[in-house]
Amino acid sequence: MIEKPHHIPARLGLLSATAADPFLTEDLLKGVQGHAGIDLAKVVEPLPEEDPRWDVEPLRDLVDDAMYQFKENRTEADGWLAPRLHATLRLTRREAADRRIWTHLALAVAPDYVAWRHGPAPAQDRNMRINPARFKGAADRQCFSRLWWAAEMFRNGEDYGPVVTACSNQDLIHNALRMDLIDHRPTAQALVRILERGVASTGREINGLLVAISTAGATLVYDALAPDEPRDPEPLRAWIEEAESAPPVPRHTLPVGPDEERVPEASVAALADYLVGLFETAPIRGRTPQP
């Protein structure tokens, strides 16, 4: 198992995938040997000095806590870490879309967490490699950005509750983040609502539900069925401003997100019923799986 790097940077920076490539050694991907961190620090582009959001310490503390708390069941760490990472690293979507920040976090700050979360399980083949995408890949694959985006897409205003529900189902976040369905907030909340109701729970059911929604979405405009509130940039800006004075995120209760308008309850309720209808009338349901 990889240990945490000897040298951990004090501040987050930007690490391009090309610059990171030489450090994604075979030993690292096999979980045998990490890097010391010194050489890596040289190829990182710094972020502005004065911004307190780039302090690494609170983030490092979070992953340490996660590894400790979920050492028996690492997939459950997602639901715990996602809202807390989101509330600690307060980003706009514009900032979060820059993959370099995530690559830096994964490779320089917490490669041990990546290896712990996505490395071969004790029961698995020891020769299996960690997918390099967990360090530097697409937003829905990279170890930390997928959690941040899951929190961003599934939170309901300041309420991270739905994020925990969504992350409790790996199939949901794994597939939903790849589809642009959840860009529509009412759809994301309706999915969580359906999960809570227990209508679809197995991976196969969740996938069937998502495929049904996406297929019907080729001709249906869900925005017309379930309106959302217009986006307001101010609450998020204020929340980011508060980052400097904010205490560390609570470990046992959920943190509080930016004070944005919640998704209209009527939209969520109506859409959840509608989507369940789509799912339950799908002909493929009940068919025995093909060999």
DSSP secondary structure code for residue 107 in this structure: I
Name the minimum Å distance from CB 152 to another protein: 8
Name the minimum Å distance from CB 219 to another protein: 5
For another protein, which is the closer residue by CB, 165 or 214?
Answer: 214
Residue with tokens 């690494």: 56
For another protein, which is the closer residue by CB, 64 or 139?
Answer: 139
130 and 25 in contact (C-beta within 8 Å)? no
For another protein, which is the closer residue by CB, 74 or 179?
Answer: 179
CA distance 36 to 55: 20
CA distance 134 to 115: 9
For another protein, which is the closer residue by CB, 92 or 201?
Answer: 92
Q: How would you class 41 by CB atoms within 10 Å of its CB: exposed for 0-12, middle for 13-18, buried for 19 or more?
A: middle
Picking from 132, 95, 107, 92, the residue whose alpha carbon sits closest to that of residue 44 is: 107
Name the minimum Å distance from CB 108 to another protein: 13
Name the minimum Å distance from CB 188 to another protein: 10
Q: Tell me which residues touch another protein (CB under 8 A).
A: 16-19, 42-46, 92-94, 96-100, 136, 138, 149, 152-153, 175, 178-184, 208, 210-225, 227-228, 230-231, 233, 236-237, 278, 281-284, 287
For another protein, which is the closer residue by CB, 4 or 174?
Answer: 174
CA distance 135 to 114: 7
- Please, what is the angle between helix 145-154 and helix 77-88, to 10°? 80
Name the minimum Å distance from CB 123 to another protein: 27
